[in-house]
């Protein structure tokens, strides 16, 4: 990636990335959503109750055994259109620059998003879910059961130095 990216905004900081990757990922399916362009996506998953569809590559079909019993799932997916070199960034709905690891923006060294979704139904290798905010066609990289015992922390807080939306 060029060190002179044209679209850096005031206050943003880009760093040179390593020359090689350390490991590889497989795209194991695709996520179908109603949103074809970045500016159509909900600001975050709370913003939408649209049903979205996970199309799992049939190669991995046997891995779905037992998934239908999960009321919630953790999905990991690859935000393949995001740049990876910004360590301080100014997402479109934020007023102040933010450290990359303090925001959920797709812009990060490994553009892997995590969403907790409600499972509506499983039909073959197709899962209908609610709670996504990503672009149509986003590559899926993992499906996990959500365990309230370890994943749910209702009183977790994020303190911001400035009043701002997350």
Looking only at residues 16 through 45 of this chain, which bind a second copy when binding is defined by CB under 8 A? 16-18, 20-28, 44-45
The region that residue 124 occupies, defined by phi over 0 for left and psi between -120 and 50 for alpha, beta otherwise, is: left
Place of tokens 């740049």: 83
Residue (17 or 34) nearer to a second copy, CB: 17
**CB 86, min distance to a second copy, A:** 8
User: Which window, 2-10, 35-43, 61-69, contacts a second copy (CB under 8 A)?
Assistant: 61-69
Place of tokens 């009183």: 155
Place of tokens 């400035």: 162
Asked if residues 132 and 117 have their Cβ atoms less than 8 Å apart, the reply is yes
Residue (4 or 101) nearer to a second copy, CB: 101
Is 4 a binding residue for a second copy by CB under 8 A? The answer is no
Residue (32 or 130) nearer to a second copy, CB: 130
User: Which window, 2-10, 32-40, 150-158, contacts a second copy (CB under 8 A)?
Assistant: 150-158
Task: Give CA–CA dist 166/154, Å, rounded.
Answer: 16
Residues 78-117 that bind a second copy (CB under 8 A): 78, 80, 84, 87-88, 97-104, 108-110, 112, 114-116
Task: Give CA–CA dist 164/93, Å, rounded.
Answer: 9
Interface map 112-141 toward a second copy (x if CB under 8 A): x-xxx--------------x-------x-x
Give the CA angle between residues 50, 115, 98 to the nearest 5°: 110
Place of tokens 């073959």: 124
Select the residue interacting with a second copy from 3, 37, 156, 163 (CB under 8 A).
Answer: 156
């Amino acid at each position: 990636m060029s060190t002179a990216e044209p679209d850096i905004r005031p206050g943003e900081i880009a760093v040179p990335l390593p020359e090689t990757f350390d490991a590889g990922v497989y795209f194991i399916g695709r996520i179908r959503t109603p949103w074809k362009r970045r500016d159509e996506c909900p600001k975050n998953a709370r913003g939408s109750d649209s049903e979205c569809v996970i199309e799992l590559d049939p190669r991995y079909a046997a891995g779905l055994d037992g998934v239908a019993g999960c009321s919630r799932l953790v999905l990991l997916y690859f935000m393949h259109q995001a740049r990876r070199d910004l360590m301080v960034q100014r997402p479109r709905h934020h007023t102040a620059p933010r450290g990359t690891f303090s925001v959920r923006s797709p812009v990060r060294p490994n553009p892997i998003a995590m969403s907790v979704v409600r499972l509506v139904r499983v039909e073959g290798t197709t899962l209908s879910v609610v709670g996504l905010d990503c672009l149509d066609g986003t590559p899926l990289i993992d499906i996990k059961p959500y365990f309230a015992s370890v994943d749910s922390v209702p009183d977790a807080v994020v303190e911001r130095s400035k009043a701002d939306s997350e």
